[in-house]
Amino acid sequence: GESVGLHLPTLSVQEGDNSIINCAYSNSASDYFIWYKQESGKGPQFIIDIRSNMDKRQGQRVTVLLNKTVKHLSLQIAATQPGDSAVYFCAAPRDYGQNFVFGPGTRLSVLP
């Protein structure tokens, strides 16, 4: 079945710098991907999504890049702020059904 993994379990960045969080997936037929943010003590919160017919999608201070050739996607956060400190998950569709498989997450720490 589909598996989703992240390259780094933790990432520390200086406030104001850009952050890049990476994710790899296994199923080349996956057509939709989501990034979630989970703050301590809270449930995951939707950040941005991207369909497989796109290479890039931008939101407010966030950009997701999709490279289908190497089955890799990344989340870029511009001008990282203390409020961005959280665990970030990518999710991809399961091989069956209509639900998603979550990656293990990257914990982003923003240093003052």
Partner 1 sequence: EAGVAQSPRYKIIEKRQSVAFWCNPISGHATLYWYQQILGQGPKLLIQFQNNGVVDDSQLPKDRFSAERLKGVDSTLKIQPAKLEDSAVYLCASSLDRATPYEQYFGPGTRLTVT
Binding site for partner 1 (CB under 8 A): 4, 9, 32, 34, 41-46, 49, 89, 91, 97-105
Least distance to partner 1, CB of residue 100, Å: 6
- Enumerate residues 6+ apart whose C-beta is below 8 A from 60: none
In the complex with partner 1, the residue whose CB is nearer, 36 or 84, is 36
In the complex with partner 1, the residue whose CB is nearer, 3 or 18, is 3
Residue 66, amino acid:
L
Looking at the DSSP bridge assignments, the partners of residue 50 are 33
Least distance to partner 1, CB of residue 34, Å: 6
- Cα–Cα distance between 99 and 21 in angstroms, integer? 23
